[in-house]
Every structure is written in C-alpha cells, then in structure tokens.
Structure 1
C-alpha cells in the first residue's frame, strides 16, 4: 500500500527568504529575532557546559590543574549566573517589551555578543589564555556577527575581540606592553624577555587569525545575501507571472462559458423536441455533444472555483467556528443521488467537533474528496467517513475511505498537481477535469490543514484530513455567543446509512 503525507503552510512566505530576508546590508528584524532566539538557546547549552565543568572541578580538581586549567571556586558559578540573567533579560526584551529605538532585535543581539565576549574573556583568563585552545572560541562570535550584521558592524566585533584578548594577556602579564627600563647586570644577558616575545607572537598570530576569519566569513555572508536578493527577485517575478496566468485563465474561462451555455441551451431545446422531431441518429449525436459539453461546463466551473480559492489565499479571510460533522452531512446529502444511482452506500461516523476555518471552503474540500470517492468506486461498493479525536493534542483526523480503483505508488505524489490524472482514472471517469484535488490542496493551504493519502490499486483509497486545535461543539457554541463570532450549528442526523454511528 502506498502512503503519502501532504502539508501546506501559507504564512504568506513560501520560502524562508521571501519578504523577510535581507534588507540592504543587514538582515531584517524578523530574521534577527529568530537569530536572537537561537543565540539564547545556544547560551543555555553553554550554561549547561559550565555547570558540568563546575561538577568536574569539584570531583577532579587535581586533574584540571595538571592540564593547565587554573580553577577558582567562584568564577564558573559567577559566569553561569551572569549568563542566566542575560538570557532572562533578552527573553523579556523580545517577548514582553514593545520594540523601540532602544529595544530592537539588533541591539538585543549586540548586547548578547558583548556579554558573551566579556564572559568568554573571564573564562579564557582562568582556563588559560595560551596553554589551552579557549581563545579560539572568540572565532565563533566573529563568525556569528558576520552572519547577523553588516561587514562594518562585524569588523567592530572583530576589533573588540582583539582588544579583549589583549586585555586578558595584559592582566596576566602586567609588563607585557612596556619596554624594559634596565639591562641585567650579568654580562652577555639581554634585556628582552623570551616569554614576553612568545606571548606577543601568540597574540599577534591570533589577531591575524581573527581578522582573516572576519574577512572570509563576511565575504561569504555578502555573497549569500546577494544570492538571497536574486532568489527573492526571481520568486517575485514568478509570483507575478502566476497571478497574470491566473487572471488570463479566468478571462478565457469566462469567454468560453457564455457560448458554451448557449450551445447547451440549444441542445436542450433539440432534446426536448422544441425544434421539431429529429432522427434517432441525429439525437444520438446530440446526446454525445451534450455529454462532452457537460464535461466542459464542469471544467469551467472548477477552474473558476480554483481561481476564486487562490484569490482568497491572497487576501484576509474572516474565519469562523465550523462544525465539521454538519459540513460532512451537508456534502453527503448533496452527493447522495449520485451515490444512489450507482448503488454506493455512504456510511458516516463523525463525532461533533468544531474548528476555526472558512466554512464554504471546508464544504468545497469535503465535497471534492467525497465526490472523488464516489466517482472512482466500483458500483455497489461502500464509502466510510469516520473521525478520530486525540483529546491530548486537540487534533482530529477525518478519513474518507473508498473501495475503488486506487492510486498507483508512482502517481500518488502528483495527485494534487493541476490537471493531473492517470490513464486508469480517465477510463473510469471520463468527465474528470483534473483539478478537483488541486482545489482540495488550495483549501488545505488556506486553512492550514494536513492531508494524508494511502492507496492500493484495485483495493481503494483513504484520504485523511488532519485538523489542529479542535474543540467540542457544545463548548465552542457556549464560548462564542458574542457579537461578531458566527458559529455553524450542527445539522440534525440523517436517516438510514448516513446516520452517525459514533
């Protein structure tokens, strides 16, 4: 059995870079907020490492001393406390304070970087500024500043790193930057201290490394941002072309609809013998024309419906509380004559629950799924519509299962593509427009739904629609009895095979 999951999230930006990417030489505020939160998460990890170091220092203090790490009982705890307070302050500034000139995402990240550099300098001092690789952690902040900021701002961070490392070395060796004031009395002895030369060489080497890292990463960041600009421009061009294509499709569809309606009205006049009697041969031809014209009319209506749904996705829609059981019963009632003509039994077992969505679009979604199940079922088969509520995650899965021709594994990933249909589907349903499931996809996008499809050829197909944030119909009805909050009331149970069993 083939299984596929489809999930669409149209948060107006279909790609990560769309509209929230780069603005000028630096990232936009929305991206900076995400980076600031990532920085906070990273700092929690550092805090965990410091706590672990504190534990190791207590257990194996002698081992750390042999490794060249000077452990002072208080500094890891102090650094941990400072980082915790910094994290709490940054979270408070992001979540609880309104953005202003002095509380912007850029300032938030700047504050985090400066606090981190100060704390890292303390760590480098106590762990070892030369004997251990601790100073190389400065490189991380230089790289991150190149990603978060413009080239000039990241250069400022690189200069700060060089200054802080120099201050650490100066604290450890107070006379590091002073010229010798006297020469040793012993003959043949120079006044230049080899240890001082080693420290200065090490500092100069690391400073060069910091500048090289800044230059390389900042150049790469500029290249990446330029590519993001190009991708954003290309995406906007594609979006504009798609809108123009949709408008052209609507225009052509409207132009086709009027003459087609005239043709069908004339055909109905001939079929009703209002134009005089016609021979059986001509009547047979007329019926074939009417059959094809009916399929064309259905295609036109589907195209118009699809374009209306796409237009709805580009505008703000008023959402309301929708009773899904009522929607499904309404769709089943509408399609029951078609199912009865083929002796197909539709069994409904739906619990009462309410979701927030666009009511008429929910009806379109289930009408298309159920009509597909009827169209591709064998005569005399059955269709089951059932729901399963997960009260812990507040999610519900509504599954429409048919016992028809099924879908091949290679075709399953493409079923939501516009105008896609398989040869087997055409042989079973010649009136298919190929865009019914495209309409379902657009509704799912507009309402942020997930759809799972499982199918086996000649055994049947199951469409499962996943709803999040569901509520009991009775609870929702009581909580929304306020002006401006419409509620779709549940329909009364239907008789026969359409009556809910659970």
Structure 2
C-alpha cells in the first residue's frame, strides 16, 4: 500500500496554468483600454488642432473681407474730398457707392456679432409679418454696384406683384439673403451669371440663388453648413471667406421653422434655396 496526499479539486500545475491565462487576458484588456485611450486623446488633439487652424484662417479671412469695402469707401471718399468729381450726378453716384459699401461692411460685422451671440446663447429674433419680395428688392438695390463692378449678369425672376408673406425677423432674413448672394459671387469663375427667384412651393415660400461657378462635391455638401468649415479643394480654398455664412443661414432658418437646401455639381454651379412656412 502507498499512502499519499491528494489535492481536492485542481492540481498545483493546473492552478498555475489557470492563473497564467487569467493574467494574460487581463493584460490584453488593459492594453486594449490603453490603446483606446491613446486613440481618443489623439483624435481630440487632432480636432483641437484643426479647430485652431480654422480659427486662424477665420481671422485672416475676416481681415481680407473687411479690407475690400474699406478700401472702396476710402478711395471714393478721398476722390470727393479732393474735389476731383466734376458733376453733381457723379458725386451722387459716389455717395451711393460709399453708402452701399458701408452696408456691406455692416453686414460682415453683423455676421461676426451674430455668431458670437449664437455661441453665447443670447441671440434673439423679433418676428413680424412682411413681404419677402420687398426684402429681396432692398438687398438687390444694395448689391447693384457690387454686382456691376464684378461684371455679373443678374437674371431676376422675382415677380414684384406677388406677395410672399412670412412671419420672421426682417434683419435676420436680410442677412441670410445677402450671405447667399455673396457666396454666389465669390465662387463664380468666368461664367458670371446669377439667377434669383422667389415664389410659392406647395405650402411654403421660397427664395433661391443659382450660380454657374465651381460647384460643391457630394461629400462637402454635408459639411458646408458647419461653422468655420471651408472646402479644402484648391479652387474653393483660394477664395477668401469667413466660413460663417452658411452656418448662420442654417441657424436662422431653423429658428424660423424653415430650412436651407443645396443642389450642386462640381464645375457646373450651385443652387441654394431658403424655404419658409407660408403665413396664412
């Protein structure tokens, strides 16, 4: 007979092997958590760097945008001050241009101020019932010299006899229309044709701007309404802009229970449309 001690359950070798595998699985999960953490930190740093670059581009582009109307105002003001204008009609024309460029400058500043208020959650709208076509006419009168100076042909399909009543903040809608026309001018190439149209669509009121410019790719169409976003392809990136216009338009339309849509093809142009609920 042999007398010996037998362990109850697993042997020492089996226990050691089990503990080894358990430690191996634990190490694997710890490594996996570390890798996920590193990836999240990398993604956040990359997003912050991209945002920092976008803000730097924004400051640079705003400086350029403000400089253009300021230069025109200064040039025409100096011409008038030096009495180089001979006729009263010409003087009146120069004064109108100064006024129009001052309005453009005000529009640019308002974009920045509106964005700041939106970010702080302090933007408020004061709605009233008005005719959308009247606002469009005022904007076109403001932009007449700018379009003419840039060599654009405007195809105006607005019916002044048609009353398009909407309940909205008039200043905000004016800003949205100006932003659309301004974008169409900026991103047009040699084909300097613009078409504007307004009317009724089902149970809604709409305003649209069509250009024959460089167009927007399908992927970029999903992002162009994000703040600071600018298309990175060469033709678009060479055009100065704040990157706020379309994001402000989207916000304005959402606050008025409306929406903004885009149809675009690279190399053929874009059509942006503002759609408002019809006031009954």
Taking structure 1 as the reference length, what is the TM-score of the superposition?
Answer: 0.33
Deviations 1:276-314 (A, max 9, x none): xxxxxxxxxxxxxxxxxxxxx997663223223556x65
Rate the CA distance shift 1:316–1:304 in 2: closer, same or farther, 3 A.
closer
CA contact (8 A) 1:408 1:456 kept: yes
Structure 1 residue corresponding to 2:134, chosen from 302, 323, 326: 326
Rate the CA distance shift 1:298–1:379 in 2: closer, same or farther, 3 A.
farther
* 1:399 has 2:194 as partner: no
The separation in 2 between residues aligned to 1:448 and 1:334, in whole angstroms, is 27
The separation in 2 between residues aligned to 1:440 and 1:401, in whole angstroms, is 16
Structure 1 residue corresponding to 2:229, chosen from 398, 415, 420: 420
Deviating above 6 A after TM superposition, structure 1's stretches of 4 or more consecutive aligned residues are 297-300
Query: After superposition, where does 1:72-151 map in structure 2 within 5 Å?
Result: none
The equivalent residue for 2:146 is 338
Structure 2 residue corresponding to 1:357, chosen from 164, 168, 178: 168
Taking structure 2 as the reference length, what is the TM-score of the superposition?
Answer: 0.56
Post-superposition shift, 1:416? 0.8
CA contact (8 A) 1:394 1:470 kept: no
How many matched pairs? Answer: 182
Secondary structure at 2:218 match in 1: coil
The separation in 1 between residues aligned to 2:146 and 2:219, in whole angstroms, is 30
CA contact (8 A) 1:343 1:380 kept: no
The separation in 2 between residues aligned to 1:373 and 1:379, in whole angstroms, is 13
Secondary structure at 1:405 match in 2: coil
The equivalent residue for 2:200 is 389
CA contact (8 A) 1:386 1:398 kept: yes
CA contact (8 A) 2:133 2:198 kept: no
Post-superposition shift, 1:379? 3.8
Structure 2 residue corresponding to 1:468, chosen from 246, 259, 277: 277
Rate the CA distance shift 1:325–1:299 in 2: closer, same or farther, 3 A.
closer
Structure with greater strand percent: 2
The separation in 2 between residues aligned to 1:398 and 1:300, in whole angstroms, is 24
Q: Which has the larger radius of gyration?
A: 1
Rate the CA distance shift 1:425–1:315 in 2: closer, same or farther, 3 A.
closer
The separation in 2 between residues aligned to 1:388 and 1:301, in whole angstroms, is 27
The separation in 2 between residues aligned to 1:320 and 1:301, in whole angstroms, is 20
CA contact (8 A) 2:117 2:123 kept: no
RMSD, matched Cα: 3.3
The separation in 2 between residues aligned to 1:315 and 1:410, in whole angstroms, is 30
Rate the CA distance shift 1:310–1:330 in 2: closer, same or farther, 3 A.
farther
Deviations 1:86-108 (A, max 9, x none): xxxxxxxxxxxxxxxxxxxxxxx
Post-superposition shift, 1:401? 0.6
The equivalent residue for 2:5 is none
CA contact (8 A) 2:107 2:175 kept: no
Secondary structure at 2:246 match in 1: helix
Unmatched 5+ stretches in structure 2? 1-54, 79-105
Rate the CA distance shift 1:317–1:341 in 2: closer, same or farther, 3 A.
closer
The equivalent residue for 1:498 is none
The separation in 2 between residues aligned to 1:304 and 1:436, in whole angstroms, is 12
Post-superposition shift, 1:469? 2.4
The separation in 1 between residues aligned to 2:274 and 2:122, in whole angstroms, is 23
The equivalent residue for 1:434 is 243
Secondary structure at 1:414 match in 2: coil
Deviations 1:112-141 (A, max 9, x none): xxxxxxxxxxxxxxxxxxxxxxxxxxxxxx
Rate the CA distance shift 1:449–1:310 in 2: closer, same or farther, 3 A.
farther
Secondary structure at 2:254 match in 1: helix
Rate the CA distance shift 1:299–1:381 in 2: closer, same or farther, 3 A.
closer
* 1:409 has 2:218 as partner: yes
Post-superposition shift, 1:331? 1.4
The separation in 1 between residues aligned to 2:123 and 2:269, in whole angstroms, is 37
The separation in 2 between residues aligned to 1:348 and 1:410, in whole angstroms, is 31
Rate the CA distance shift 1:373–1:320 in 2: closer, same or farther, 3 A.
same
Post-superposition shift, 1:457? 0.7
The equivalent residue for 1:374 is 185
The separation in 2 between residues aligned to 1:310 and 1:446, in whole angstroms, is 14
